[in-house]
Chains A and B, each alone.
Chain A
């Protein structure tokens, strides 16, 4: 986006690579638990960090439909990769979470009160598409009819260090979804990593008072004009390298018109209903509950666990599942992401991160499915008109 690359705030700061550790030290000193990208078992995942050396320094990832591979870079870039199989939802909306505990008392029960303290997460290296994904889950859990106290407590104390992408991945399409590659809001600090000859530094934008406060305790200075220009050029270059593209104009109406498009049968013949796409998607929020008791039956707990609309059980009501076929379920997923989400939460449910494409074992590609429907739709209408 041309305008995206031209509206850097008037003041940016420069943080030398050799001082990056100060950011870690300052945040740790303020009581934050640092989380961010790290290499584990052949992938870049999100995990606990203690120092910049825990980051995937000198690594990059190659991604395509159904394919992910780590590779050594020729340089020592700290953030020279894109997004992996994890997303920040694993911290804010954990895969398995105890919602409550009850104790049997007489013939009734009472709630076992639990501490409700913020875990004070600091997320290091949040990409623009991921900031949008977090904002989307905020809508689901904090800005709807009810507030989820479990999400709220994790989300409220969060410190976010965003990173503007210095390169695009093979399955990225944030430009199409208007969510990147530049972080425009929702961060405390945003870094653009620059490497020029011997120089290695970050151009830093401040997004909040908490960000300004943290930066004030770190060696930094105002950026020079050429450093700002370099940062802008880096992000603009990334925007031109998108591995995928999706024409999102009128996407909601397109899908509402095409509930009965034959393409759903085609994709259903390939989809394994493995649910990978929903697990890796940073906005998918669906969950189930499990009720358990201890052996004596005196304490009962309810656990919330990630669930997926790709399972048959998901839509079960007495007598059978509402979405009985793979076609029903793939259509539900994609139509939710790109159509019904707008009506539910006022935005797309897809931020163009490309994870569902990379981690699909049979390389089903949401951009390709949209293209196929767009190019072959008969003007016969269906739902939503």
Chain B
């Protein structure tokens, strides 16, 4: 039987599957395997508004498509910024892109960090490795509305000093922005004067009021597990903990099924989840 045709179904919908061309404005090396691309629309289309925590699907002509978080400032009306680690078929050739090259973009997709809901609270941001990239837009937003928040704490862990992302910004934030920044590395040479150890060791030293804190966490799942345990121990409630999940993604629009995580689709229900809503599934392995 033919479909019932209510207006939502018959109104012309832009095809959410087709990439739109964007041009590389700037390609910047961050670390030995990580780089940041600044993109502008190749066809003069306006930048779609995005919220901190959302991601795009980036397409390399003929090669393939990958999910990459937006890592730029949400207030920037001109540029779309992505920080990418070169790991495989698509991201390795992306590392070789120069200014002027064209990429396909679909998005933005997914759920945002609760930057507005966190107003009035202390905010604790915990990032592991590349997990800092999707958190950076949230930091920009917090800093732009600094007076709306209590204490802001950024705790960041990387493998080695050479893997620390956004070094310059880290130092600037630490000295000038009224946020407490602490970072640590898993391993370093003798001359490293900073912290060594996992990021969880920074939590108990940070100053914030656990009862009035919103926590935003992004990093490998094991790291997030330990961070959550540590925060819970201090009295941060699960409703105030937000984590960003990663799953294989082939469509970003709820059709391919690859990103399922328990009852959720990470692409459309996530990637940012309020922890209490997924807690039983997050505790299981192989889901």
Contacts and interface: CB of A to CB of B under 8 A. Distances in A.
Contacts, number: 156
A286 B18 contact: no
Contact of A99 (B17, B23, B100): B17
Nearest to B254: A144
A91 interface: no
Given A187-B1, A322-B286, A107 B101 contact: yes
B183 interface: no
Nearest to A308: B257
Contacts of B87: 318
B21 A186 contact: no
A146 B257 contact: no
A87 to B, nearest CB: 17
Contacts of A142: 3, 9
A160 B1 contact: yes
Contact of A309 (B19, B21, B104, B257): B257
Interface in A93-129: 99-100, 102, 104, 107-109, 111
A31 interface: no
B156 interface: no
B102 A186 contact: no
Nearest to B278: A383
Interface stretch (A173-181, A205-213, A227-235, A359-367): A205-213
A332 B259 CA distance: 12
Nearest to A104: B61
Nearest to A99: B17
A108 B3 contact: no
A126 B232 CA distance: 54
B189 interface: no
A325 interface: yes
> In this complex, which of B18, B257, B284 has the most chain A Cβ atoms within 10 angstroms of its Cβ?
B257
Given A159-B1, A207-B1, A145 B9 contact: no
Nearest to A185: B1
B255 A293 contact: no
Nearest to A147: B13
A156 interface: yes
B174 to A, nearest CB: 30
A52 to B, nearest CB: 21
Contacts of A288: 250, 256, 258
B21 A285 contact: no
Interface in A294-353: 297, 300, 302, 304, 307, 309, 314-318, 322-325, 327-328, 331-332, 336, 339-340, 343-344
Given A142-B3, A316-B248, A340-B260, A383 B280 contact: yes
A247 B254 CA distance: 30
Contact of A108 (B16, B17, B102, B283): B102
A188 B4 CA distance: 12
B287 A259 contact: yes
Contact of A107 (B5, B100, B251, B253): B100
B146 interface: no
B257 A111 contact: no
Interface string B223-261: 000000000000000000000001110110111111010
B257 A324 contact: no
A315 B246 CA distance: 10
B286 A297 contact: no
Contacts of B42: 108
Dominant SS among interface residues on chain A: mixed
A382 interface: yes
A145 B254 contact: yes
Contacts of B256: 286-289, 304, 307
A155 B5 CA distance: 11
A9 to B, nearest CB: 15
Contact of B2 (A210, A309, A383): A210
Interface string B260-287: 1011110010000000000011011111
B46 interface: no
A343 B17 contact: no
Contacts of B268: 144-146
A339 B284 CA distance: 16
Contacts of B100: 107
Contacts of B254: 140, 144-146
A198 interface: no
A384 interface: yes
B9 A317 contact: no
Contact of A315 (B255, B258, B284): B258
B62 interface: yes
A99 B18 CA distance: 8
B15 interface: yes
Given A208-B2, A314-B248, A300 B61 contact: yes
Given A107-B102, A383-B284, A148 B1 contact: no
Interface in B8-49: 9, 13, 15-19, 21, 23, 42
A271 to B, nearest CB: 14
Nearest to B19: A102
Contacts of B255: 140-141, 146, 148, 285, 287
Contacts of B248: 314-317, 322
25 contacts: A102-B61, A108-B102, A109-B102, A138-B3, A141-B255, A146-B255, A149-B15, A152-B3, A157-B2, A159-B2, A188-B1, A210-B2, A259-B284, A285-B255, A285-B257, A286-B258, A287-B250, A291-B59, A291-B62, A293-B62, A302-B17, A314-B258, A317-B247, A344-B265, A383-B284
Interface of A: 99-100, 102, 104, 107-109, 111, 138, 140-142, 144-149, 152, 155-160, 186-188, 207-208, 210-211, 256, 259-260, 285-289, 291-293, 297, 300, 302, 304, 307, 309, 314-318, 322-325, 327-328, 331-332, 336, 339-340, 343-344, 382-385
Given A287-B251, A297-B62, 8 more contacts: A99-B17, A102-B19, A142-B9, A208-B2, A286-B258, A302-B65, A309-B260, A322-B287
